[in-house]
């Protein structure tokens, strides 16, 4: 469904859909096989083979709004393209539009120094390296970012201008990737600051720095590497030049808010694409399988689920597009209510639609022969990634109460006593 697409977006969408038909869908079986057989520590050849093909086709770095570095698309223009890419786990990295690289590149564009950009942003844009984002910690409730315990402290050695990082992170995406060269880490640099949102900083840590140890890959619903190369990473006396600090001490929370807004749009539109794919598969499956003397598609419960799925997908798409429009016109801060809404709505919608598709496939939906198990793992993971449902619900509830706070209590209507 296209809503007020610009000519350029419409053309890019047609190009993307043609590329998906020719290169992505035919290679999905190979992609899943390589991810399982080679594991999370390896490069998967099919991805590297398709990257130059995508770049040659002009489908590269579409996410960046900076026209000199990316395609120059607004959030609203990019959203339909992100939806198309979201239909396949293989697609985003092939187009250099995969998380967390996209968020890390946007962070470097917005907050990096020219030296930081030259060293890390340029090779990321070229697809020569990959990156990781280290925020979540195993020992604290990281949904409250002020809980973070990993420390970023100035070295006591007066002869060096360095920070020393100590802590343990997990669900650090991409740390096991052989091409991961840089980690953006959030930690506490000023734990005694009375302003809890000025205690954190973000710093760039080269992956090969002494003291950085990837302890293990982490499975996501028993999937290793795909749909997410999650890992647990230990940082022990990691010494990093002071020049690697992003934006300055105490600015980590500010960077996180600027970074996560666009990322949430990307996640939500990819989930819309994933749900569309699941609904399409459900319709095809139920029309080709017979139970109790008639196609499964003709049973009332199936028709009801197909109808409800279509409504839910359209509602989520429109809400996400409206959020993208607001981010473009009034900014992320003013659109925070809508950003919270889509981050709650999109994963829940995708989980429901994919679950119905699994029901339609029966036992076949629970293995990954059709990709539905990995699709469900992705959708369920995104109820936690970039903030769990509960955090966004609490924020949305507070914002809604604030809208009505000045109106006072509801007064009763004038009492009416019948005259009979």
Residue 94 to residue 45: CA distance in whole angstroms: 11
Contact 152, 189 (CB under 8 A): yes
Long-range contacts of 64-71 (CB under 8 A, 24+ apart): 64/105, 64/106, 64/109, 64/125, 66/109, 69/109, 69/121, 69/125, 71/12
The structure tokens listed for 62 are 């579409």
Choose among 313, 232, 310: nearest CA to 269: 313
Per-residue pLDDT at 277: 98
- Sequence-distant (≥ 6) Cβ neighbours of residue 362 within 8 angstroms: none
The dihedral of CA 138, 140, 141, 145: what is its sign?
Answer: negative
294-310 in b/e form (b: 16+ CB < 10 A) is: eebbeeeebeebbeebe
| 92 vs 82: CA distance, rounded Å | 8
What lies within 8 Å, CB to CB, of 66 at 6+ separation is 72, 109
**Per-residue tens of pLDDT for the chain, all 420 residues:** 446 788 999 999 999 999 999 999 999 999 999 999 999 999 999 999 999 999 999 999 999 876 688 888 999 999 999 999 999 999 999 999 999 999 999 999 999 999 999 999 999 999 999 999 999 999 999 888 889 999 999 988 777 899 999 999 999 999 999 999 999 999 999 999 999 999 999 999 999 999 999 999 999 999 987 778 999 999 999 999 999 999 999 999 999 888 877 888 999 999 999 999 999 999 999 999 999 999 999 999 999 999 999 999 999 999 999 999 999 999 888 999 999 999 999 999 999 999 999 999 999 999 989 999 999 999 999 999 988 999 999 999 999 999 999 988 998 887 778 887
Q: Looking at residue 67, what is its pLDDT?
A: 67
Nearest C-alpha neighbor of 19 from the set 55, 48, 45: 55
Instruction: Let me know the angle formed at the C-alpha of 223 by 222 and 225, rounded to the nearest 5 degrees.
Output: 140
Q: What is residue 1's predicted lDDT score, i.e. its pLDDT? A: 47
The answer to whether the predicted template modeling score (pTM) of the entire model surpasses 0.75 is yes
Residue with tokens 């360095």: 162
* DSSP line for 278-293: HHHHHHHHHHH-EETT
Domains, in order of start, for the chain: 7-112 (1.10.540.10), 130-246 (2.40.110.10), 253-405 (1.20.140.10)
Give the number of other CB atoms < 10 A from CB of residue 390: 12
């Amino acid at each position: 469904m296209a809503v007020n697409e610009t000519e350029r977006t419409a053309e890019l969408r047609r190009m993307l859909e043609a590329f998906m038909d020719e290169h992505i869908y035919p290679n999905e079986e190979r992609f899943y096989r390589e991810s399982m057989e080679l594991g999370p520590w390896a490069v998967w050849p099919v991805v590297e083979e398709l990257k130059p093909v995508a770049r040659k086709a002009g489908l590269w770095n579409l996410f960046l709004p900076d026209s000199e570095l990316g395609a120059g698309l607004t959030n609203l223009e990019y959203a339909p393209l992100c939806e198309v890419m979201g239909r396949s786990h293989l697609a985003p990295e092939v187009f250099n539009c995969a998380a967390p690289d996209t968020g890390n590149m946007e962070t470097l564009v917005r907050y990096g120094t020219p030296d930081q950009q030259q060293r890390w942003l340029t090779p990321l844009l070229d697809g020569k390296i990959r990156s990781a984002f280290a925020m979540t910690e195993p020992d604290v409730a990281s949904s409250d970012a002020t809980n973070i315990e990993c420390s970023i402290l100035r070295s006591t050695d007066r002869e060096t201008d360095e920070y020393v990082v100590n802590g343990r992170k997990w669900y650090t995406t991409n740390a096991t990737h052989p091409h991961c060269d840089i980690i953006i880490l959030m930690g506490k640099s000023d734990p005694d600051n009375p302003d809890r949102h000025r205690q954190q900083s973000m710093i760039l840590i080269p992956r090969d720095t002494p003291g950085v140890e990837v302890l293990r890959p982490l499975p996501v619903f028993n999937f290793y590497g795909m749909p997410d190369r999650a890992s647990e990473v230990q940082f022990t006396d990691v010494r990093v030049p002071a020049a690697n600090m992003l934006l300055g001490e105490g600015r980590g929370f500010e960077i996180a808010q600027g970074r996560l807004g666009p990322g949430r749009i990307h996640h939500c539109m990819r989930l819309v694409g994933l749900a569309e794919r699941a609904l399409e598969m459900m319709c095809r499956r139920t029309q080709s399988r017979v139970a109790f003397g008639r196609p499964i598609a003709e049973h009332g419960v199936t028709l009801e689920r197909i109808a409800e799925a279509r409504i839910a997908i359209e509602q989520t798409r429109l809400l996400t597009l409206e959020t993208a429009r607001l981010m473009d016109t009034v900014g992320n801060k003013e659109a925070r209510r809508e950003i919270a809404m889509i981050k709650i709505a999109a994963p829940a919608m995708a989980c429901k639609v994919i679950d119905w598709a699994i029901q339609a496939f029966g036992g076949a939906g629970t293995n990954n022969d059709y990709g539905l198990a990995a699709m469900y793992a992705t959708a369920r993971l995104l109820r936690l990634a970039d903030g769990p449902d509960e955090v966004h619900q609490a924020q949305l509830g507070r914002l809604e109460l604030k809208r009505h706070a000045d109106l006072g209590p509801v007064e009763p209507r004038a009492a009416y006593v019948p005259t009979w």
